[in-house]
């Protein structure tokens, strides 16, 4: 796992004033990676790092030959239109670029270096994002015991957990082609559903549209076909984490998931936040992996001392809904839930180890979803199907007093994530958002 080093120093400051603002997402201790260009331009997309209210254009920086040696070679990989090659290069390369940029952005950097980097800054308000990688495969896990119990009770009140949930990280293979970057709106999907009490299903636009609060982790170096990744080495294959919204058509999903997994209920759109917070940046916010004494303990291949000591990640997460009425009245979006990723029943290292145990070969730039993140209390639920108890108890949106059992056309869902701890500088993930458009005719 990533070690604490000088780049986590809470006293470190940048010469860029906005990076030092309290409560910001992108201080010098963060330095997340993404892919962007100036909004409305025909420029090529290229790698960038967020710092304060600016994006550092890595292609422009590489053009100035500001870094030397291995750092220059690594920067060339990070400056490309996708981050796949950079991710494939591995932790030593990632760390080299992080350290070099940290030194160049620190307030004691040489004036010449500061001048060069200033020329490579683009205001975040002026950029448009692309997906940070060419996603070859997308796998979504199901690893929150609180979410599993909440949803399971709707279908099987007396036995909500499947027999395997506490023994392995459950997952299904998603649809990589419909993963989109934050800010991409989508149309309410059509599909087949079985109305309550009906004798035959109907083909209709989704009537129970939902969001799912999730995180994603990106694969760095892959593994050869047939060679599993041991748990102790799993995090060497994980570049970083982002926010993920796995939009869900619940009426279609619950009808089609007999006997196989999600299909049309999930594959119409999945939103991904544009900035990837590296595992190095997350090092101060690791948490123990703890399993209640009465629960089954992981089998040996999913258990080791390092994972138990610090396999978790304490990321604070929130969900807001902005309705059309909020926008019309100029009101802020309504917060509907807040929780932490530390509540997940399985760690990301265990997810990766499980993914490869049968010999599956992961590839650089692949995305794994963590499953919906729900906490132990009702207000920590990560989906409307939980908050509204299957649609039977609609929630009230602050500001407009509108009721929501499921999403309406015009609703924008905004996910946010951040890490904060006494003695450390707060770092953030930015936002992941999308708006529901009416179903296409």
* Active site (catalytic) residues: 147
Nearest to 104 by CA among 71, 69, 63: 71
Which ranges constitute the DSSP H helices of 236-387?
Answer: 250-256, 305-310, 324-329, 348-356, 384-387
**Residue 73 CA to chain centroid, in angstroms?**
28
Dist. CA 244–CA 414, nearest whole Å? 10
List, in order, residues 6 or more apart from 269 with CB less than 8 Å away: 178, 180, 184, 186, 189, 247, 434
Residue 317's CB: how many other CB atoms inside 10 A? 24
CA distance 81 to 26: 22
Q: Which residue shows structure tokens 């041991």?
A: 230
Distance CA 332, CA 341 (A): 25
User: Do the strands 367-369 and 186-187 form a parallel or antiparallel pair, or are they unpaired?
Assistant: unpaired
For 231-243, the three-class secondary structure string (H helix, E strand, C coil) is: HHHHHHHEEEEEE
Q: In Å, what is the CA distance from 46 to each residue of 36, 60, 120? A: 6, 9, 12
Burial-class residue 259 by CB neighbours within 10 Å (0-12, 13-18, 19+). Answer: exposed
Tell me how far apart the alpha carbons of residues 48 and 55 are, in angstroms, rounded to a whole number. Answer: 6
The DSSP string of 251-282 is: HHHHHH-SSS--STTTTT-EEE-S-BEETTTT
d(C-alpha 327, C-alpha 198), whole Å = 38
Which regions of 174-254 does DSSP assign to beta strands (E)? 179-181, 186-187, 190-193, 202-205, 209-210, 213-219, 238-245, 248-249
d(CA 29, CA 48): 16
| Contact yes or no for 368/139 (Cβ under 8 A) | yes
257 preceded by cis ω (within 30°)? no
CA atoms within 13 A on the CB side of 35: 21
Q: Tokens 């620190």 — which residue?
A: 106
Contact 224, 361 (CB under 8 A): yes
């Amino acid at each position: 796992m990533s070690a604490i080093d000088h780049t986590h120093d809470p006293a470190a400051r940048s010469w860029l004033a906005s990076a030092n603002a309290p409560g910001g997402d992108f201080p010098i201790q963060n330095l997340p990676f993404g892919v962007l260009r100036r909004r409305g331009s025909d420029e090529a997309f290229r790698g960038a790092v967020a710092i304060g209210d600016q994006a550092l254009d890595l292609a422009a920086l590489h053009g100035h030959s500001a870094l030397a040696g291995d750092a220059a070679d690594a920067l060339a990989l990070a400056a490309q239109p996708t981050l796949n090659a950079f991710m494939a290069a591995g932790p030593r390369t990632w760390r080299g670029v992080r350290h070099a940029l940290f030194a160049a952005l620190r307030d004691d950097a040489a004036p010449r270096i500061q001048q060069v980097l200033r020329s490579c800054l683009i205001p975040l308000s002026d950029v448009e994002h692309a997906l940070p990688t060419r996603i070859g495969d997308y796998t979504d896990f199901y690893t929150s015991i609180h979410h599993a119990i909440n949803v399971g009770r709707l279908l099987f009140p007396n036995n909500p957990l499947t027999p395997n949930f506490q023994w392995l990280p459950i997952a299904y293979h998603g649809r990589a082609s419909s993963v989109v970057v934050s800010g991409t709106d989508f149309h309410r999907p059509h599909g087949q559903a079985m109305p309550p009490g009906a004798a035959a299903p109907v083909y209709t636009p989704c009537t129970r549209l939902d969001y799912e609060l999730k995180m994603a982790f990106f694969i760095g170096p892959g593994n050869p076909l047939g060679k599993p990744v041991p748990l102790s080495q799993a995090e060497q294959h994980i570049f970083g984490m982002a926010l993920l919204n796995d939009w869900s058509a619940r009426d279609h999903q619950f009808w089609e998931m007999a006997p196989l997994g999600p299909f049309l209920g999930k594959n119409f759109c999945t939103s991904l936040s544009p900035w990837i917070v590296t595992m190095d940046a997350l090092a101060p916010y690791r948490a123990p992996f703890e399993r209640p004494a009465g629960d089954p303990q992981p089998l040996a291949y999913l258990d080791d001392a390092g994972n138990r000591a610090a396999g978790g990640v304490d990321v604070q997460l929130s969900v807001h809904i902005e309705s059309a009425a909020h926008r019309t009245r100029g009101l802020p979006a309504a917060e509907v839930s807040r929780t932490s990723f530390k509540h997940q029943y399985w760690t990301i290292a265990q997810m990766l180890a499980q993914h490869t145990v049968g010999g599956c070969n992961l590839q650089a730039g692949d995305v794994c979803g963590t499953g919906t993140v729900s906490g132990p209390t009702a207000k920590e639920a990560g989906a409307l199907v939980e908050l509204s108890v299957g649609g039977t108890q609609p929630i009230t949106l602050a500001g407009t007093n509108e009721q929501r059992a499921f999403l309406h056309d015009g609703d924008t869902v905004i996910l946010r994530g951040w890490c904060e701890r006494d003695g450390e500088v707060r770092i953030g993930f930015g936002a992941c958002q999308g708006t529901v458009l009416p179903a296409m005719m």
